[in-house]
Amino acid sequence: MTDPKNPPNLGSPTTIDARGLMCPAPVIELAKAAAELGEGVIELLADDPAAETDVPAWCRMRDVRLVARERHADSMRYIIVV
Amino acid sequence: MSASATGATPDHAGSAPIASNLDRYLDAASGLPMSAATQEALNAGWNLGWADASRRYQSAAQSRRLLDSARNSVAHRLGISAAGIFFLPDFEVAFELALSGFTDHQVAVSTVEDAALLREVDRHSHQGARVQTLDVSPSGHIDWKTAAALTELGPTAFVVQDVNLEIGCRQPLESLAQAAGKDAALIVDARATLGRDQVTADWDVLLSDPRIWGGPPGCALLAVRAPDKFTAPRTSVGGFGGLEPASPPVPLVAACALALEAAEAQESDTAAVSTYLRTEVLQRIDACEVVGEPDSSFITMFSFLYVAADELIDELAQLGWSCASGASCTSDTRRPHHVLTEVGASSHGSLRISLPPGFPHVQAEAFAADLTAVVMKLRREAGAPSA
């Protein structure tokens, strides 16, 4: 968990491009990246509609923060702080 | 029970042991097979109740007697008059009729109702009805105080399942009815309770699907507590006060009533097995949660991270287990079940367990072991991180 008063540098996130992957693959890729990273910021791109439910739920269950959700033309962009 | 037994009585069905093919059946919320006694009643019905009950000859009178007896039986069980019992061809038709009985009410519907009912409410709103949406908590419960306050805007018909068919949560309908008072009408979808659990007491209109209590398909129940105040448009050709089809399927109706008698006579409490199963699964499998009601006795929705529900259901089916899911990969629309979305649950590894009455404890133990092995295997194969 991150101190909300001192957000980490959002400028250099680890990017996971999960576009084209269907559930549960986007969440598995996210979890693998989180485990590898230990601490930091992850940018996840996903176009599976199920990810819109599953990414926030994963963050809640794993007790990490979903700081942004942006709808782009072809996908959603999630910013996660682990 | 001998296959040649004739004369279907509820006692037969009530004492019948659980069919052997049901000891791996965990989808009772989708329906139960008809018992031998119900099938016999259905068969007898084809002989005794084939004639059009609205005619004036002897065989018609026989059909009428079967219908009346079925209505009386169901009415007795619900504590209302037989004039308030209607059998419709399917659940959606029954619900459409239920809504049309409250045209002078605004409709308040929770976001975790059945998708078909939500569609029907939507259609109702396009026809000019005022519709209010009831949001739910992360456990799937409506806020009865907020809901009751809607009656300040005018008479309100609430559309709510007393126990949710997907996530098992029991709604606080007694509190809602009490707080909302006489300006409220409760249209209760009681599919998860009638025939096996305590139905919420304060309904004005109750709907159910007899398949869930072991009745035949092709018949839905609409019960109206005060039929004289129910303003649904009658047709001149329709049977029984103009609400039912002109010629109701007498054998189906008779079998539905008998199956309900049998279901209620049966010991259907699955609370202990349900509790065991939840505790065991949560202990054995990590990165897993129970969605909705934390202590439901009938329906439990699990969610396992890093598991594809279609693979989970198929692997369990290979081992003989029958379960349902709310995940997008198990649906034609490729979207997660709206109930899971509404409560913020992870949908991809969702697994709905609904126990048939009398489900044996030893089978719950076997299932917990198989489920654990299957989840571990699928996670390994998918390269999921160890949680």
Distance CA B119, CA B107 (A): 13
In this structure, the answer to whether residues B194 and B323 fall within a common structural domain is: no
B382 touching A, CB under 8 A?
yes
Using the structure block, give the residue that is written with the tokens 């084809």: B46
Q: If you count DSSP H runs as helices and E runs as strands, how many of each does chain A have, helices first?
A: 2, 4
- CB within 8 Å: B336 and A54: yes
pLDDT on residue B267: 77
List, as one string, the DSSP characters of B292-361. Answer: S-TT-SSEEEEEETT--HHHHHHHHHHTT-B-B---GGGSTTSS--HHHHHTT---TTEEEEEPPTT--H
pLDDT, tens only, B330-356: 676 767 889 999 999 988 899 999 999
The answer to whether B192 and B29 have CB atoms below 8 angstroms apart is: yes
Provide CB contacts within 8 A for B291, sequence distance 6+. B140, B167, B301, B302, B303, B340, B343, B345, B350
In this structure, the answer to whether residues B186 and B129 fall within a common structural domain is: yes
A55 in a structural domain: yes
> Into how many domains does chain A fold?
1
> Into how many domains does chain B fold?
2
- CB within 8 Å: A24 and B334: no
Helix ranges (DSSP H) in B90-156 = 91-100, 115-126, 144-149
Measure Cα distances from B66 to B53, B59, B175, B260 in Å: 9, 11, 38, 15
In this structure, the answer to whether residues B308 and B237 fall within a common structural domain is: no
- CB within 8 Å: A54 and B346: yes
- CB within 8 Å: A57 and B341: no
pLDDT, tens only, B289-326: 999 988 889 999 999 999 999 999 999 999 999 999 97
- A54 → chain B, closest CA residue: B346
SS3 content of chain A, % helix, strand, coil (to 5): 30, 30, 40
- The CATH number of residue A26's host domain is 3.30.110.40
ipTM of the complex: 0.85
The domain containing residue B333 runs over which residues?
A: 271-382
pLDDT, tens only, B23-32: 999 999 999 9
Query: If you ran DSSP here, which 8-state letter would residue A19 be given?
Result: T
A27 in a structural domain: yes
In this structure, the answer to whether residues B75 and B200 fall within a common structural domain is: yes
Give the residue from B265, B283, B317 where a domain finishes.
Answer: B265
B8 in a structural domain: no
In this structure, the answer to whether residues B152 and B258 fall within a common structural domain is: yes
Distance spanning both ends of chain A, measured CA to CA: 6
A68 touching B, CB under 8 A?
no
A21 in a structural domain: yes
Distance spanning both ends of chain B, measured CA to CA: 50
CA distance A59 to chain B (A): 10
Q: Is residue A11 scored above 90 in pLDDT?
A: no
- B347 → chain A, closest CA residue: A54
B308 touching A, CB under 8 A?
yes
Six token digits for residue B353: 């367990």
Mean pLDDT by 10 residues, chain B (387 residues): 40 47 93 95 94 91 94 95 90 91 93 93 91 95 96 96 95 95 94 91 94 95 89 60 70 96 88 96 96 91 95 96 84 80 91 95 97 97 83
Six token digits for residue A65: 């923060």
pLDDT on residue A19: 96
Q: Which among B78, B226, B11 has a CA at the least distance from the CA of B70?
A: B78
Q: Residues of B with CB below 8 A from A54's CB?
A: 336, 346-348
A61 touching B, CB under 8 A?
yes
The answer to whether B209 and B29 have CB atoms below 8 angstroms apart is: no
Residues β-bridged to residue A43 = A15, A79
